[in-house]
Copies of this chain bind each other. A is one copy, B any other.
């Protein structure tokens, strides 16, 4: 596609932004849930065509799995839409309206970000979930999905257009970029008509977008997440937190990748950890101090301490105390999710205050870094950038505050 036509699509969407902000967005979300139920077969048919082509193209089993829409997805998607529709409207309120000494009343009005570009890989559910979060907050979306999911995405966007029509909202609230070549990704990176660009996918896509973007980006980077087991930890709790973090769902970004153990409890804790992890099929990779305390662990290589395995592999390191744990996390962590297990409140608060991560937990599993679990009601991704949104991004994180001033002729002197 030519630069002009992507730009034209964006310009068309921008012209409708104030209609979208003012319109009945919740009605569109509810209509979409109804349409998905009524026309799920259409969506599945398109998805099957995508799957057949992807199989012929020799896509990996994991990728085919992500591409496939399943029966349970209908329930997940419709429940999500209805839940988001029930959330309070983030827009319109004016925060902190205050009277200045000159009588001018100033405050901040919550408004949509505007036009959001969303670049994602072959996961068609995102075409419903991400749009619903953006639309709740009054934004328009320009979608560039993975080419393997193009037919599925087109079917879902067609339903969005019907849902928007039923709610009296312009179709331009949801625009699918009609080509899926890599060129479209680069064009979106340079399209200064976007108020925000969100890439979701593998590390390579994220890095490409961060390198090429000339517009603001909120990236969801990898989660290299640690649990620090302090010398005053309840070791049974620590064991449960480690197991939950590593094994409850190993392939997600808030899973645990490494356990740091205080040297005073290493001898008691590591054998327990090894036995429990072995039962779950987890391979341990250990630092030189931890190795002698473990039967089957292999040495961790220097270059793997910042790795996100997304698999049943766990690194283990013995540290001399809080300082070494903080330094290790600062060096190897990815600012995603970090946890401490301790009964010592002073140590806990230092950890909570000093660790730089989008979520820092005390005596709880890293798996809680999630928009639903933290009470946002929905999420479009987890930002590991500190600007604008740090952590899960729900509808509120897709808004901004503009200043308004109500005067009676005030001039500056």
* Min C-beta distance of A339 to chain B, whole Å: 8
Q: Could you say which residues of chain B place their CB within 8 Å of the CB of A286?
A: none
Once the chains are docked, how many angstroms separate the CA of A354 from the CA of B111?
9
Once the chains are docked, how many angstroms separate the CA of A249 from the CA of B391?
42
**B367 engages A402 (CB within 8 Å):** no
Known: A214-B210, A405-B361. A386 touches B195 (CB 8 A): yes
**A347-384 CB contact bits vs B (8 Å, 1 = yes)?**
00000111011111111110111000111000000000
Interface residues of A in 129-179 (CB under 8 A from B): none
Q: Does A113 lie at the interface of the complex (its beta carbon under 8 Å from any beta carbon of B)?
A: yes
How many monomers of this chain does the complex have?
2
Interface 9-mer from A82-90, A236-244, A311-319: A236-244
**A329-357 CB contact bits vs B (8 Å, 1 = yes)?**
01000000000000000000000111011
**A360 engages B400 (CB within 8 Å):** no
**A214 engages B214 (CB within 8 Å):** no
Q: Does A18 lie at the interface of the complex (its beta carbon under 8 Å from any beta carbon of B)?
A: yes
Known: A211-B214, A354-B18, A364-B407. A400 touches B412 (CB 8 A): no
Q: Does A98 lie at the interface of the complex (its beta carbon under 8 Å from any beta carbon of B)?
A: yes
Closest chain B residue to A392, Cβ basis:
B403
- The interface residues of chain A, by DSSP majority, are classed as mixed
What range describes how many residues of A lie at the interface? 35 or more
* Min C-beta distance of A399 to chain B, whole Å: 9
**A379-413 CB contact bits vs B (8 Å, 1 = yes)?**
00000011110111000000011111111111111
Known: A385-B216, A386-B113, A388-B388. A360 touches B402 (CB 8 A): yes
Q: Could you say which residues of chain B place their CB within 8 Å of the CB of A114?
A: 356, 386
A interface residues, Cβ below 8 angstroms from B: 14, 17-18, 21-22, 92, 98, 100, 104, 106, 109, 111, 113-114, 195-196, 210-211, 214, 216, 218, 234, 237, 240-241, 244, 248-249, 330, 352-354, 356-365, 367-369, 373-375, 385-388, 390-392, 400-413
